Amino acid sequence: MSWDGQERRKKKRFGVRGCTLRYKRGGVLSFLNMFGEKLIALNLSETGCHFIARDALPGNMSIAVQIEAPQAGDKVNASGRVVWCQKSAEHDAYHVGVEFQSMPKSSKVQLKILLDNSVLEKIEITTKVYLKEIEKL
């Protein structure tokens, strides 16, 4: 599933400097899976996120994410589904959009604090910056 260019978001997304996330396949037996490596989160909202993954993720795949940011005290945990996945034109990677479907109350509070303290509306990332940042993770 790829993005068709039409904006459907209900909530404004914000870039959070230094924000990373890990994901794992969701679903009934998701507790058996381990979270993967740290990836770069490009933006977040109360209802979803956009991140860069090394591999393509199938549309509608259930997913669990764990979001970390220097400004956050605790990790933000959410379950959702992959809404779109598109090969990057610049990177050997994929842009992935996730819609959150459930989140513990403590994570909702933490995410709200994180978004309220966010000053960026969008993070532009060049190939050079991407390669530099991914090496740090």
pLDDT tens, position by position, 20-55? 999 998 877 667 789 999 998 988 999 999 999 999
Sign of CA dihedral 33, 22, 49, 47: positive
The stretch 5-31 carries a mean pLDDT of 75
How many helices (H) does the chain have, and how many strands (E)?
2, 6
| Phi, psi of 52, deg, nearest 5 | -105, 125
pLDDT at 122: 52
* Listed residue (137, 54, 128) closest to 93, CA to CA: 54
Q: Does residue 3 register a pLDDT over 60?
A: no
In order of start, what are the domains of the chain with their CATH numbers?
A: 20-120 (2.40.10.220)
pLDDT at 26: 80
Most confident residue range from 10-14, 103-107, 108-112: 103-107
d(CA 93, CA 90): 8
pLDDT at 121: 46
* Listed residue (132, 125, 108, 128) closest to 17, CA to CA: 125
> In terms of pLDDT, which residue wins out, 21 or 16?
21
With a CB cutoff of 8 Å and minimum separation 6, the contacts of 47 are 9, 10, 11, 99, 100
pTM for this entry: 0.77
